[in-house]
């Protein structure tokens, strides 16, 4: 059996088959569709038995993919968040006020994180179009709770808003420094500090409320850029990509397990 995993985000689509989620294929789409013919041919060649996907953006692309699956009679599921995920290894409780309102990408990134870094309370940072910072508390061995989280513009969106709001700023991007002495350097440093400050603040608050140390785990398109700066404040930072796909893999494996026990 071949289970296709699909993570459709705001600017990129990642996919893999179950068991290979650490080595996904990536298509940067930016809401365009020129890549669909080659992508669908690659999917069809896999002869998938079913699809487990997560989509929070690009509805036209999600509709197109769904039509493709239907046309080829491939069972599909665009998964949603859950009140609780439970397997033999992990239990993750959703403590959002309205559990179904939580973004499916944030839920599955959290699920992927507890599989990637078990045995710790985690601050799960995903750096994409938006930066999300979610608190995952370990309540007992193998048991976790999505305790809450934060959403802010990602660094690219923050930069775009700054330049659009203040047209007189120079277009050239500078370098991050401790004491910026040019406007270009000041902009870059301010953008990075805003992201790092958000994460560090969330970590301090979570550690205070949880009463225990918290490990920061980061993923997403801007992770490689932000990680060196964040490590100055959080030396034990863990960068682990493809958390959403890892969470989708856990969901797919959970369903396989249930069907095998019928």
| SS3 state of residue 8 | strand
Torsion over CA of 42, 20, 254 and 210, rounded to 10 degrees? Answer: -130
7 a catalytic residue? no
Residue 43 to residue 17: CA distance in whole angstroms: 10
Q: What is the DSSP string of 176-237?
A: --SS--SHHHHHHHHHHHHHHHHHHHHHHHHHHHHTS--EEEEESTTHHHHHHHHHTT-TT-
Are 109 and 247 in contact by the 8 Å Cβ rule? The answer is yes
The owner of tokens 């569709």 is 33
- Considering Cα of 195, then 197, then 202, then 207, what sign does the dihedral take? positive
Residue 128 is encoded by which pair of tokens?
A: 């994409």
Q: Which of the following is catalytic: 71, 105, 178, 236?
A: 105
Active-site residues: which are they? Answer: 105
């Amino acid at each position: 059996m071949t289970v296709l995993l699909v993570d459709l985000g705001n600017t990129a689509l990642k996919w893999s088959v179950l068991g290979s989620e650490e080595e996904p294929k990536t298509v940067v789409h930016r809401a365009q569709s020129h890549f669909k013919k080659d992508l669908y041919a690659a999917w069809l060649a896999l002869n998938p038995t079913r699809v487990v996907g997560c989509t929070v953006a690009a509805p036209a692309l999600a509709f197109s993919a769904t039509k493709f699956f239907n046309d080829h009679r491939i069972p599909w599921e665009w998964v949603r968040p859950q009140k609780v995920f439970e397997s033999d290894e992990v239990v993750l409780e959703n403590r959002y006020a309205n559990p179904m309102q939580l973004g499916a990408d944030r839920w599955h990134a959290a699920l992927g994180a507890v599989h990637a870094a078990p045995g710790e309370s985690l601050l799960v940072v995903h750096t994409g179009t938006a930066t999300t910072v979610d608190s995952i508390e370990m309540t007992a061995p193998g048991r976790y709770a999505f305790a809450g989280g934060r959403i802010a513009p990602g660094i690219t969106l923050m930069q775009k808003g700054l330049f659009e709001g203040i047209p007189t700023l120079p277009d050239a991007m500078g370098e991050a420094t401790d004491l910026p002495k040019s406007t270009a350097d000041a902009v870059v440093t301010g953008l990075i500090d805003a992201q790092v400050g958000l994460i560090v603040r969330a970590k301090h608050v979570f550690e205070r409320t949880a009463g225990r140390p918290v490990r920061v785990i980061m993923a997403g398109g801007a992770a490689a850029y932000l990680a060196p700066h964040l490590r100055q404040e959080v030396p034990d930072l863990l960068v682990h990509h493809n958390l959403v796909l890892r969470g989708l893999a856990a969901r797919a494996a959970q369903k396989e397990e249930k069907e095998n026990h019928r």
